[in-house]
Structure 1
Amino acid sequence: MNAAQGRFLILSAGMGSGHHAVAAELARRLEAGGGRTRTVDVLDLLPPGVGRGLSTFYRTVICHAPAVYAGLYAAFFRAGDGPRPGSAPLAALAERRLLELVGRLRPDVVVPVFHLAAQLTGRLRARGALTVPSAVVVTDFAVHRQWLHPGNDTYLCLTPDLAGEVARAVGRPAVASGALVAPRFRGPAATVRDWRRRLGPPDRPPVLISTGAWGAGAGVAGTARLVASAGYRPLVLCGHNARLRREASRGAPEHAMGWVEDMPGLLSACRALVDNAAGQTALEAMAVGVPVVSFRAIPGHGREGSLRMAEHGFADYAPDAGALIRSLDALTRPGAARERRVETASGLFSGEGVRPLEALLRTAGRSGTV
């Protein structure tokens, strides 16, 4: 069976916008190869109100109680010795509706791109209730324990090192797919000149400060002031957080932006990205060719992912204000440091892509399981 004959059910999650962005690019690539896709939010498979409540709770603790999230991450997500709580009870609540959906849509492969969905498919595959393969697309540099379930058939990871870690942890195949970023981010955008005019005179290099779709992060306005004091033009992406936009606008309204559709153009017009989550925005910046500096990362997966990005040489990790400015000074100027960083980060986009999913489809077809 080839991709042109295959049906793929993608399980995303409305936790910010990053997982949906990966799901959309995954669907685009599979459909370009002739496959058929359907994307479903795994939160919608939970009992009424549970998914919305989970998303609201997560957004609240990330934006307003980061210490609480740090504790939850340590307890539920980080690997450690001895038994630790997991998401199995929550995943169990979605089993019936997923099996009904699979029975109705008859996909050949189920593809989770969120860790709760990975637990859901892993549980069902392990006991034989889900009879088609499941392939997990891991979107994080910090591959925490909730991504991992030995019931899943294969894992697609950002780098070969991460794939090796996953394979050892679950005893299942894992490959480096690379970052799944839309083609419009590959190289400078056509709208870059328009953005440069909008951003003002070129007397100060523009630096983008990202807070994700939810506008999450600590000391964001202070980061903008710090960047401005060092001679840069800070531009704060506040997402859908109106309160953060008001705070970031005080004294310099042009520094704060809400949700931006033309991210390729804006990124292309900036000299660096200051990131706090090691998520999709950081990957999009790297695809455009913009260096990334992690600073004041959100707790849990944000901090661990930022550290892993720096360990791999894809980004800088700035533990304090002085380190942030030193990184910006080195990476915003033309020269060897910037060129090395951009070249290293470009390696994230040369992985296997969706080929492992197409190979899994062919293997499953020969074994008669689809």
Structure 2
Amino acid sequence: MKIPYRGVNAINSREIDKVLILSGTFGEGHQQVANAIHEATQLSLPDVESVVFDFMALGYSYLYPLSQYVYMKGIKKFPRLYGYFFQKTRKVNSFSIKLNAVLSPGMGRTLKLIQEVQPSVVVSTFPFAAGVMSKLKQYGLINIPTVTIITDYTDHSYWIHPLTDQYIVGSNMVRQALNHQGIDDSKISDTGIPIRPKFFQAHDKIELINKFGLDPDLPTILVMGGGYGIIRDGLTTFRALNALPQSIQLIIVCGHNEKLRHQVTEEFKHSKHRIYLTGYIDYIHELMAISDIMITKPGGITTSEAMAMELPMLLYNPLPGQEQDNAQFLVHAGVAMLAENLTDLKTKLLHLLFDPKLLKKMKENTRLFSKKRSTFDALDVIVQMKRQVSIPNFSVTG
């Protein structure tokens, strides 16, 4: 379920407690975590209203469509440059502080939003939103509890701010990394990355196979590239899969990338494999439930959803930066394999297809590392923080 971003005029009553969730649509992951917390709040806290806002649209209201386009094109065309800046700013230094200041606009608009919504706690699933919240507290403009949810299995200076009250992280590895960056352990909650509750539900595999018109006797490979359908090497990746000697069925999710969807349609027109091709959908959990292996870029949310669905992963061509960190965590956990190139991708996929013991072991490992209550445990942390300040201050004090 995609949560609509609401205008402040519709939510300026303080009759019930409110949780303000500041997200960002630069990539799907930040928004998906916001949606997960929103859905969990609706399910378990009827007396609390959660309100989701796109922080980047708020801070860059005029440049937002252009900046989003430039971001998506930039990471696709210049991944090494993105990786360079990621590593250059991983720890807090003079360069990261300057760049963070440029990328954290909208303090005035954020303050106005807080004054109108009047939340009792603010949750940031986007790093620059967390930075602005810390600055507002530093200047004495608010004293609301703030919670930051880190949406990857990594640490980075952009997530870390002096007046953040609580960090929610996906693993003990990230917890230790934050400790090394000077964050007190009492300010870190290792709940797992929050994902939408439907990924924790049981599914009837045979019923879903029939629903999507697939063959229960063929191995099923789910291929995903994130919400924007970005698997670097693009069509070349799918040509390699089409050339596999063993008959399989491929579920290919192209996300918002309609150009890629049309290219893949043409490429697989005469394929010997059974193909199920789709764009952006809201039933990924059903496709994961019927798949044996998932080939994907290692985004924090998609891989957390796969672990919840007990789905082994083959990771391919991660972006330098947080995706490489995610891949390292997942491979070390034994829930994924990493393919270094197209030849390696085909070799490791065939290895998994012909080694049911390995596939079973990876599936068992997902049960060890997936935190089935991650979303609701994260919500418990948020509620506890909400109770710390009984009368929030929404006005300028100086």
TM-score, with structure 2 as normaliser:
0.82
Aligned pair 1:18/2:7, yes or no? no
For residue 39 of structure 2, the aligned residue among 19, 28, 41 is: 28
Deviation at 1:255, TM superposition (A): 5.4
Q: Distance in 1 between the 2:169 and 2:111 partners?
A: 26
Aligned residue for 1:240?
256
TM-superposition CA deviations, 1:50-94 (whole Å, max 9, x none): 32222111111123333343334344x433776444322331x21
Structure of higher RCO (CA pairs closer than 8 Å, 6+ residues apart):
2
Gaps of 5+ in 1: none
Conserved 8 A contact 2:316-2:345: no
Aligned to 1:136: 148
Equivalent residue letter for 2:59: L
What aligned pairs does 1:62-211 form with structure 2 within 5 A after superposition? 62-75=75-88, 77-79=89-91, 83-84=95-96, 85-91=98-104, 93-172=105-184, 173-190=187-204, 193-196=207-210, 198=212, 200-211=214-225
| Equivalent residue number for residue 10 of structure 2 | none
**Alignment-mate amino acid for residue 354 of structure 1:** L
> Does 2:48 match 1:48?
no
Where do 4+ consecutive residues of structure 1 move more than 4 Å?
80-83, 331-334, 348-351
Moved more, 133-142 or 277-286: 277-286
2:330 corresponding residue in structure 1: 309
Query: Is 1:316–1:327's contact at 8 Å kept on the other side of the alignment?
Result: no
Paired letter, 1:48: S
CA contact (8 A) 2:312 2:363 kept: no
The 3 A distance-change label for structure 1 pair 222 and 202 is farther
Q: Name stretches of at least 5 consecutive residues in structure 2 with no aligned partner.
A: 1-14, 270-274, 394-398
Tell me which residue corresponds to 1:297. 318
Relative distance call for 1:330 and 1:363 in structure 2 (3 A) is same
Verify: 1:358 aligned to 2:383, yes or no: yes
Shift of 1:187: 4.2
Secondary structure at 2:22 match in 1: strand
Q: 1:195 to 1:203 in 2, by over 3 A?
A: closer
Contact kept in structure 1, 2:239 and 2:267, CA below 8 Å: no
Tell me the C-alpha RMSD between the 2 structures: 2.7
Question: Could you tell me how far 1:369 is from its partner in structure 2?
Answer: 4.8
Question: What is the identity, as a one-letter code, of the residue corresponding to 1:322?
Answer: D
Paired residue for 1:338? 362
Assess if the C-alpha contact under 8 Å between 1:273 and 1:293 holds in 2.
yes
- What secondary structure sits across from 1:240 in the alignment? coil
Q: Give a deviation string over 1:135-184, Cα, whole Å, max 9, x none.
A: 10111112222111122111111113312322442434111121212221
In structure 2, distance between residues paired with 1:332 and 1:210: 22
Q: Give me the TM-score of the superposition, normalised by structure 1.
A: 0.87
AA aligned opposite 1:6: D
CA shift, 1:205, in A, is: 0.8
Residue 349 of structure 1 and its aligned partner are, at CA, apart by 4.4
Aligned to 1:7: 18
SS for the counterpart of 2:68 is: helix
CA-CA distance at 1:9 after TM superposition: 0.6
Q: Helix, strand or coil: the match of 1:359? A: helix
2:215 is paired with a residue of what secondary structure? coil
Local SS of the residue matching 1:15: coil
Q: Give the distance between the partners of 1:137 and 1:215, measured in 2 at CA.
A: 24
Structure 1 pair 53–130 and aligned structure 2 pair: CA distance change class (3 A): farther
Cα distance in 2 for residues equivalent to 1:313 and 1:348: 18
Query: Aligned equivalents of 2:306 and 2:206: distance in 1?
Result: 14
